[in-house]
Amino acid sequence: MHVLLGKKQIVLAALVVALGLAVFVNWYYTGTDTELFPEGDGQGNLSVDAPDGTAQLVNGETEGENFAEIRLHRDTAHASALEELQAVLASATGETEASVSTAKAIEKLQNEIKMESDIESLVTGKTGSDCIAVISENTVEVVVPTAALSDTNVLTISDVVNEVCAKNYENIKISGAVG
């Protein structure tokens, strides 16, 4: 019995030594010459001649500006569609089938706009990252910064979309923003 306990201790010591050796070899070959704070112009813009592996600011836009621009285009499209539907409704006379279907289309568009806004607010509040939500006939697409695409955030976003618009999980698309 005493010999078996000794063998376990020897095996454990060998594993600890092997792990320590692996950590040392990894540290040795990865090097220590990486810069934590690459030099730039002092205003957050990094130099164009930065070495490989360091962050570079390619253009003056941040992800927040990209999301704001996309949101502005989407809101402009919603507004023009709403104006067109209201113009059709105003030109329709009486209680015709066209006026009823146009009124329903206006109500549906307004509901979708509200749901998109609710999804964006809830996702931003729960994940701490900006997002764009677009609701189409069968699917809901949510775009978040690529850094926010963790498993936990994807599940949180799916739950938010399911709560707000009662879509099946297979009809929810979550993707990361490029660039």
DSSP result, 63-98: HHHHHHHHHHHHHHHHHHHHHHHHHHHHHS-SS-HH
Which pLDDT score is estimated for 46?
46
Residue (of 155, 150, 154, 112) closest to 133 by Cα position = 112
What is the per-residue pLDDT for 32? Answer: 53
Residue of higher predicted confidence among 38 and 24: 24
Q: What pLDDT, on the 0 to 100 scale, is given for residue 55?
A: 45
Instruction: Write the CB contacts of 92 (distance below 8 Å, at least 6 apart in sequence).
Output: 98, 99, 102
Token reading at 85? 């539907």
* CATH number attached to the domain at 63-177: 1.10.287.4300
Average pLDDT, the chain: 76
Predicted confidence (pLDDT) per residue in 81-102, tens digit: 888 888 877 777 667 777 788 8
Query: 165: Cβ–Cβ under 8 A, 6 or more apart, which residues?
Result: 115, 119, 135, 140
- Cα–Cα distance for residue pair 173/126, rounded to 1 Å: 18
Report if pTM > 0.85. no
- Residue of 154 and 62 predicted with greater confidence: 154
C-alpha distances out from residue 103 to 8, 36, 74, 85, 100, Å: 78, 58, 21, 8, 5
**Rounded distance between C-alpha atoms, residue 154 and residue 160, angstroms:** 10
Instruction: List, edge to edge, every strand of the sheet that includes 172-177.
Output: 132-135, 140-145, 172-177
Per-residue pLDDT of 35-83, as tens digits, reads 544 454 444 444 444 444 444 444 444 556 777 887 888 888 888 888 8
Cβ-contact 143, 157 below 8 angstroms? no
Q: What is the pLDDT of residue 64?
A: 61
Report residue 7's pLDDT band, with 50, 70 and 90 as the boundaries: confident
Q: Where are the domains of the chain?
A: 63-177
Residue 48: its pLDDT value, please? 47
- The pLDDT of residue 178: 65
